[in-house]
């Protein structure tokens, strides 16, 4: 392998989006449409996350889909009929919006036949990812930040050349919903911290949680994770858990945790989804003013 190729392979080029889950927390809305297509204001959840990947310099997008997820493929495809109608009606701005997303990225799809867990969904991308490090984005977490969260993580990766997972301090009473790390702080900047991870626990009880640092849905993973996931048996909830695969990886190589600068919305949960909808709408130039006025008029 030439040095140039080697160098290329240390760059993160591919972004994996697991979107094959059943979305049970959003039933009945998700009975016949994917959770990833639920709109936050006027954009489907998955588009926010794909825009973060694009803002981080990644155009090679791999989406893991399953049964009933065709709407995701249609969304990122060219829509000739719609474009022709918008063009004929002179709706230039809408036309640009509809076109821009299918022009920005190259998307590949891989199917997870059965929802056997996040770890299993990632394993399905093995052939498309190949032998290079890659990024994983979970649509449940929408992150707003000055510098795209994944771009911040790539800077950490460029220095350490090891797996990096995103971290956030969460209130103690919520800790049991997350994968939680035990780690040592190795670097600190303004609003950012890097930890060397010693251990990870999936959904610990309040008493057994090793810290208040939870793993959030952004990861940079080396290709060795695939062998680890291959060996991982079903764990909590009968699913093949990514955290179990990461624990196996930790036996072989260091993993770092990065507490990012930015605000996260948990759009995978009904209350989080509502909060994200309100806050994102308030930030919009076209809607923020009248929406703020309306909320004030509710006199809560």
Chain residues binding ligand UTP by CB under 6 A are: 18-25, 35, 64, 112, 115-118, 120-121, 138-140, 268
Of 64 and 129, the one with the shorter C-beta distance to ligand UTP is 64
Of 172 and 177, the one with the shorter C-beta distance to ligand UTP is 177
At its nearest, how many Å lie between ligand UTP and the CB of residue 279?
20
At its nearest, how many Å lie between ligand UTP and the CB of residue 264?
14
HEC string of 26-54 equals HCCCCCCCCHHHCEECCEEHHHHHHHHHH
Of 37 and 194, the one with the shorter C-beta distance to ligand UTP is 37
Of 20 and 280, the one with the shorter C-beta distance to ligand UTP is 20
Query: What residue number has its CB nearest to ligand UTP?
Result: 21
Token duo for residue 290: 């009248």
The number of beta carbons lying within 10 Å of the beta carbon of residue 84 is 11
| H-helix or E-strand spanning residue 274 | helix 270-282
Of 122 and 194, the one with the shorter C-beta distance to ligand UTP is 122
Of 103 and 127, the one with the shorter C-beta distance to ligand UTP is 127
At its nearest, how many Å lie between ligand UTP and the CB of residue 254?
25
Cβ contacts of residue 180 below 8 Å, gap of 6+? 200, 201, 204, 209, 210, 211, 212, 213, 214, 215
At its nearest, how many Å lie between ligand UTP and the CB of residue 51?
16
At its nearest, how many Å lie between ligand UTP and the CB of residue 56?
18
At its nearest, how many Å lie between ligand UTP and the CB of residue 159?
28
Beta-sheet pairing, 43-44 with 255-259: unpaired
Estimate the crossing angle of helix 45-55 against helix 149-160, to 10 degrees: 40
At its nearest, how many Å lie between ligand UTP and the CB of residue 124?
8
How far apart are the C-alpha atoms of 229 and 151, rounded to whole Å? Answer: 25
Strands (E) located in 133-281: 134-137, 141-144, 163-169, 179-189, 192-202, 213-221, 255-259, 263-266
Cβ contacts of residue 192 below 8 Å, gap of 6+? 152, 258, 259, 260, 261
Of 20 and 164, the one with the shorter C-beta distance to ligand UTP is 20
φ/ψ of residue 88, rounded to 5: -60, -35
């Amino acid at each position: 392998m030439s040095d140039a190729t080697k160098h290329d392979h240390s760059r993160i080029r591919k972004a994996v989006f697991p979107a094959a889950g059943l979305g049970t927390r959003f039933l009945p809305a998700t009975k016949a449409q994917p959770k990833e297509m639920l709109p936050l204001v006027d954009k489907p959840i998955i588009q926010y996350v794909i825009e973060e990947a694009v803002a981080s310099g990644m155009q090679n997008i791999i989406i893991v889909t399953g049964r009933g997820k065709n709407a995701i493929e249609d969304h990122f495809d060219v829509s000739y009929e719609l474009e022709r109608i918008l063009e004929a009606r002179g709706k230039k701005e809408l036309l640009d919006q509809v076109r821009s997303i299918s022009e920005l990225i190259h998307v590949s799809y891989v199917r997870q036949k059965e929802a056997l867990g996040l770890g299993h969904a990632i394993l399905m991308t093995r052939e498309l990812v190949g032998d290079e490090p890659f990024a994983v984005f979970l649509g449940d977490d929408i992150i707003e930040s000055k510098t795209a969260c994944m771009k911040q993580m790539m800077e950490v990766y460029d220095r350490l050349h090891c797996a990096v997972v995103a971290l956030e301090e969460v209130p103690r009473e919520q800790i049991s919903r997350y994968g939680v790390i035990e780690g040592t702080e190795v670097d600190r900047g303004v609003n950012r911290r890097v930890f060397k991870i010693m251990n990870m626990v999936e959904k610990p009880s309040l008493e057994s949680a090793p810290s208040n640092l939870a793993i959030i849905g952004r990861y940079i993973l080396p290709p060795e994770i695939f062998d680890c996931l291959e060996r991982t048996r079903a764990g909590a909830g009968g699913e093949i858990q990514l955290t179990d695969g990461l624990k196996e990886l930790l036996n072989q190589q260091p993993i770092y945790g990065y507490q990012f600068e930015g605000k996260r919305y948990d759009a995978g949960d009904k209350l989080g989804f509502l909060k994200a909808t309100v806050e994102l709408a308030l930030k919009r130039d076209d809607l923020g003013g009248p929406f703020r006025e309306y909320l004030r008029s509710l006199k809560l």
